[in-house]
Structures are given as structure tokens and as C-alpha cells.
Amino acid sequence: MKLRRPTDFLILAALEETGRNVATNLQAHTDKSRKNINTRLPVLEDYGLVRKIGPAERSGLYEITQTGKAALVYRDQYDEVDDFATLLEGPTADAGQESAEAAFVRGELEDEETEE
């Protein structure tokens, strides 16, 4: 997984903040060119960090995936690890607080807080 910093993380953060969105709106949120956004979205989709949704194949509407949300949790470690994809796939609750947070974001853990 080869991500472009800061562009890819800006796109992921914008999708997390705004929800489903198209390249034109992501351009406004990231201050990156529309061409750059349009180039990176399919790459992020191939990595499983975003998914294309919408009523038509060419709608250009994307949303962040659970793995994309985990990538945001780990963005500070991107340059420190050899295989960022493995980092995103592997952590469990036993691996520490930050890893547990990423696993929770991916939907692998239930919220431990219960209301009485």
C-alpha cells in the first residue's frame, strides 16, 4: 500500500468528516486539485480505504470504509512501518490501546460500555 501524504489522508479525513462525497466537494475540503482527487480516489478504492457508491457506476460518489477509518487512526505510524496494509488488517484488542481503537473502528469489537 503506497499512500501519498498528505493528500490521501486529507481525502480520508474529509470523507470521514463529511460522509459520502464527490471529487468536487473533496477538492474544496482538501485544497487539492480536482485532477489530483480524481486520480487518488480509484487508488484508495483499490486499497479498500474508500468505496464507490451511488445509483450509477459513473456517479463519482465515494464513502470511507472501516479500513479507511483505521488508516486515519494509524496515519502517524505510516512512515514508521514497512507494511501499512498489514498494520491496518492485523491489530486486535490484545495489541494495545491504539490497536484496539483501530479494531473497533473497523467494526471488529463491540462497544464495551453498556448502559444500566
Q: What is the CATH number of the domain that holds 71?
A: 1.10.10.10
Q: Is residue 104 part of a domain?
A: yes
pLDDT, tens digit (0-9, with 9 covering 90-100), for 42-87: 999 999 999 999 777 777 899 999 999 999 998 888 888 888 888 8
Q: Is the pLDDT of residue 93 over 80?
A: no
Q: Is residue 113 part of a domain?
A: no
Q: Is residue 53 part of a domain?
A: yes
Range of the domain at 45: 1-108
Q: Is residue 58 part of a domain?
A: yes
Q: What is the pLDDT of residue 114?
A: 43
Instruction: Give the chain as a 3 state SS string.
Output: CCCCCCHHHHHHHHHHHHCCECHHHHHHHHCCCHHHHHHHHHHHHHCCCEEEECCCCCCCEEEECHHHHHHHHCHHHHHHCCCHHHHHHCCCHHHCHHHHHHHHHCCCCCCCCCCC
- Number of domains forming the structure of the chain: 1
Q: Is residue 54 part of a domain?
A: yes
Which whole number is the average pLDDT over 98-106?
A: 59
Q: Is residue 90 part of a domain?
A: yes
